[in-house]
Homo-oligomer: A and B are copies of this chain.
Amino acid sequence: MKVLVTGFEPFGGEKVNPALEAIKLLPKEINGAQVVVRELPTVFRKSLDVLFSEIEKENPDVVICVGQAGGRFAISVERVAINVDDARIPDNEGNQPIDQPIFPDGENAYFSTLPIKRIVEAIKKEKIPAEVSNTAGTYVCNHVMYGVLYYASKKKPNMKAGFIHVPYLFEQVVDKKNTPAMGLNEIVKALTVAIEQSIT
């Protein structure tokens, strides 16, 4: 069994991306499943080009994409991705699509095929705050979640896929007033648990 886990490069003026820092620290194997990690550019379209070619190369059974959700208090396991790009800030190559469909022939939305409720319960059992989220936003995170589920629905119906948002790291909020954060160890632990649940 193989799990592909992705994280984005930093964006929005941040020097690090907690998702990327965390996936680098994942073990190479979890409960017998091989864990492959991959950095994605925080760029509309290009992120999916990289992801799709990686899927074709690695042929994973499960894909878990991970992104930063600054301002959230808990590990957010996303339920659904919607067919729209609507960027409040430009991506890392200056693209800022407004109200554009991601794939014109795609569904209005795709639901995560990961066991989202089970993942949330398992993370909370480790005493780390977690919740199901009903929106992945309309930026590159939603773009990638929608894209991988669109791809799976068209080409790999047996591949499970979904998205997890993680809070800022403490080092990112030292100069941001009243902004929630987590330590890297909590985030790595939560992602490990999410992988365990996704391969069962």
Contact = CB atoms under 8 A, between A and B. Distances in A.
Interface in A151-192: 170-171, 173-175, 177-183, 185-186
Interface residues of A, number: 38
A122 B158 CA distance: 46
B173 A129 contact: yes
Interface in A93-126: 99, 107-111, 117, 124
Interface stretch (A27-35, A37-45, A51-59, A131-139): A131-139
B178 A73 contact: yes
A128 interface: yes
Given A129-B170, A134-B135, A183 B181 contact: no
A181 B129 contact: yes
Interface of A: 73, 79-80, 82, 84, 86, 99, 107-111, 117, 124, 127-132, 134-135, 137-138, 170-171, 173-175, 177-183, 185-186
